[in-house]
Amino acid sequence: MSAGEQARATGSELVTRGLLAGYQQVVRPGLFRAHGGDAEAIHEDLIRALGVAGSVPVPVARLSASALGRRQGTTLAGIRFPGRVGVAAGLDKNGVAARAWAGLGFGFAELGTVTAQAQPGNPRPRLFRAKESGGIINRMGFNNEGAQTLADRLAGWGVERGNQALGIPVGISIGKTKVTPLDGAVEDYLTSLRLLADKADYLAINISSPNTPGLRSLQDGEALRELTRALVVEAAVLNPGNPVPIFVKVAPDLTWEALDEVLQTCEEAGISGLIATNTTLAREGLRGSDARLATEAGGLSGAPLTVRSREMVARIVQQSSLPVMGVGGIMTPADAQAMFDAGAQLVQVYTGFIYNGPALVRGINQLHR
């Protein structure tokens, strides 16, 4: 590195540190105290505010994205990603804030999870912050406005697959409607795929949320084979020659044996890649007073998941040639670097973004390859 580059890098590092300190010391304490500390109400406010902020024109968003340091893109499954860190599913379930993510420095956003039918999700409270541990426990249960509403919202903004109308590629996560029995799951996912295939740059099949009864059983042998084949075939029927790429998101609680079987099934079905991982049912890593949350049902995310998710990514890369998006416990740029080193081509963040804000995105954008 030349002296000039060194100075620029140091200056840039200072900006990132300043952003981080500002978020952690000023924004976050206020945020976390609002609504009497009700984590879900705060989250809803944040997404609504970003929805308004995101209505600024895309060129302005692009300028701010460059201020947030996005510069290293990559191409995966034929999609050009302008940056390597994306919004993880669940953060913007209904795509309300979809126009804001590029401006915050993200290189892509995975909206959803949406289901074929709109549904309210589980009763509240269903979101708990495990602050001492840098974690979140949630049992939201796919509360969402449904695939059709998301399709209409994106259409209203001119979003079509491949046109980067929001400045970044859009992934959409689809899941099973709760009231649909497991033996109707394939048709349920197909309904969502048909509604969204011309809006999404990729679709993610969510079969790994712990909060819809029986959902994770779709990761098993024959069920997964049937589901993945049906979706890949339908995508090809809808867009002959240029089907929407389909990714599969897996749970961190799979044994290696079960994971290897998932990988083989995905390869045989023509799945484009993996997303690893969703939240965990394990409760190790809850520290100090957070131990009281251990009995809350739901999935744990954030720092307690960092090592497990990275190990899963490493295993996938070792066992399969499918590309991987790494997600789970990326709280710092160093965690993202470790995820890239484990073989992830892209990363996603949720909990780390809630705890550390846009500085985390900027820090990851500044990593050297």
Ligand X SMILES: Cc1cc2nc3c(=O)[nH]c(=O)nc-3n(C[C@H](O)[C@H](O)[C@H](O)COP(=O)(O)O)c2cc1C
Q: Does residue 128 belong to the site contacting ligand X (CB under 6 A)? A: no
Please, which residue, 209 or 365, has the CB nearer to ligand X?
Answer: 209
Binding segment for ligand X (CB under 6 A), chosen from 1-9, 134-142, 214-222, 237-245, is 134-142
Question: How do the residues of the chain divide into helix, strand and coil, expressed in percent and rounded to 5?
Answer: 45, 15, 35
- Cβ(167)–Cβ(58) under 8 Å? yes
Task: Decide: is 127 part of the binding site for ligand X (CB under 6 A).
Answer: yes
Q: Which of 243, 194, 316, 208 is nearest to 77 (CA)?
A: 243
- Taking CB under 6 A as the rule, does residue 302 contact ligand X? yes
Q: Which of 106, 189, 350, 355 binds ligand X (CB under 6 A)?
A: 350
Please list, in sequence order, all residues whose beta carbon lies within 8 angstroms of the beta carbon of residue 290, skipping any fewer than 6 positions away. 130, 131, 132, 133, 135
Among 19, 77, 130, 140, binds ligand X (CB under 6 A): 140
Contact mark string toward ligand X, 189..218, x via CB under 6 A: -----------------x--x---------
Interface with ligand X (CB under 6 A), residue from 122, 138, 192, 345: 138
How far is the C-alpha of 98 from the C-alpha of 248, rounded, in Å? 22
Round to whole Å and give the CA distance between 17 and 38.
28
Q: Which residues pair with 324 in a beta bridge?
A: 274
Tokens at 28, concatenated: 């976050």
d(CA 262, CA 307): 21
Q: Is 278 in the site for ligand X (CB under 6 A)?
A: yes
* CB nearer to ligand X: pick between 101 and 142: 142
251 close to 219: Cβ distance less than 8 angstroms: yes
Find the residue with minimal CB distance to ligand X.
90
Q: Which of 224, 227, 246, 330 binds ligand X (CB under 6 A)?
A: 330
From 45-53, 222-230, 266-274, 350-358, span contacting ligand X (CB under 6 A): 350-358
- Among 54, 69, 90, 358, contact with ligand X (rule: CB under 6 A): 90
Q: Which residues on neighbouring strands pair with residue 79, listed in sequence order?
A: 76
CB of 329 to ligand X, least distance (A): 5
Annotated catalytic sites, by residue? Answer: 209
Q: How far apart are CA 118 and CA 48, in angstroms?
A: 19
Q: How far apart are CA 285 and CA 133, in angstroms?
A: 7
Of the pair 58, 138, the CB lying nearest ligand X is at 138
Q: Does 19 bind ligand X (CB under 6 A)?
A: no
Q: Is 289 exposed, middle or buried, given 0-12, 13-18 or 19+ CB atoms closer than 10 A?
A: exposed
Residue of 119, 133, 192, 301 interacting with ligand X (CB under 6 A): 301
Residues that bind ligand X (CB under 6 A): 88-90, 93, 113, 127, 136, 138, 140, 142, 173, 206, 209, 249, 278-279, 301-302, 305, 327-330, 349-352
